[in-house]
Amino acid sequence: MATNRLDEKIADGRFAIDIRLFLAAVTLAMGASFVAGVALGESSPWTPSRIFTASHPTVLQDHDHQYKAEQPDTMSSDTTEEHLPAGQHLLVDMEGVDGDFLNSEAQLSQAMVDTVKEAGLTMLSYHCHSLTPTGVSCIGVLLESHISFHTWPEDGVITLDLFTCGSNPLLPVVAVIERLFGIGEAVHSQWSHELRGFRPKSGTKHYLDDNSDLSLWVLSPLEVYSKEQIYGNMTQHQRVDIWDIREV
């Protein structure tokens, strides 16, 4: 008898409104759960990392040993230049540098930022570590490539390298590095300049090509006590460079 009454109620539609209300309630509950999950996900420390392009430079978050690089409102004019799979690599070793300076993250990072700025390059981000018991290591990511250095305060030594795939010449940056990092009364530096990567087979060779006399005898050797450019100019027919070199 009870079964027959239930069939009659379903047949005449008296339970239809209850089923519709049930489905509506389930739908609303699922929607609320989805919204809550999205809200919690945005605040979760496990959210995926965002992907950035070079046209929107990023900076490191401000934690213990990370420093934000000052970012320009717009990228430098170098963004319009072609960045080939080739570049210039500058290696600079310095000794006799003030130990306190070589152990200061703040002073060293500022010198790195100023070097990049004066070289006409674009700093994207950089990161420094204080080492134990002394010393600092830094790496800066450039739009054009990178800059890095390591210090030994107790020995007064810093080794620095700067690599770029842009067209700005790096030879003039040697004097900038010596001025900004050569803090001390009896600082001595030695440096090397190399062409890196692969250049087009056709076309005019770079005047600092690895096979040139200037590259082989002057720029490439690192362990040369002193080398200084006295004169450099492009005449109507050829380029003239005069260097003063002391090997010991």
Catalytic residue among 104, 128, 165, 189: 165
- 226 tagged catalytic: no
b/e code 105-140 from CB counts within 10 Å (16+ = b): bebbbebbbebbbebbbbbbbbbbeeeeeebbbbeb
Query: Residue 213: what are its φ and ψ, rounded to 5°?
Result: -60, -40
- 145 tagged catalytic: yes
- 165 tagged catalytic: yes
Catalytic residue among 104, 125, 145, 212: 145
Using CA atoms, how far apart are residues 25 and 32, in angstroms rounded to an integer?
Answer: 11
Using CA atoms, how far apart are residues 207 and 214, in angstroms rounded to an integer?
Answer: 9
Catalytic residue among 127, 146, 150, 188: 150
Do you know the residue count of the chain?
A: 248
For the annotated catalytic residues, the residue numbers are: 145, 150, 165
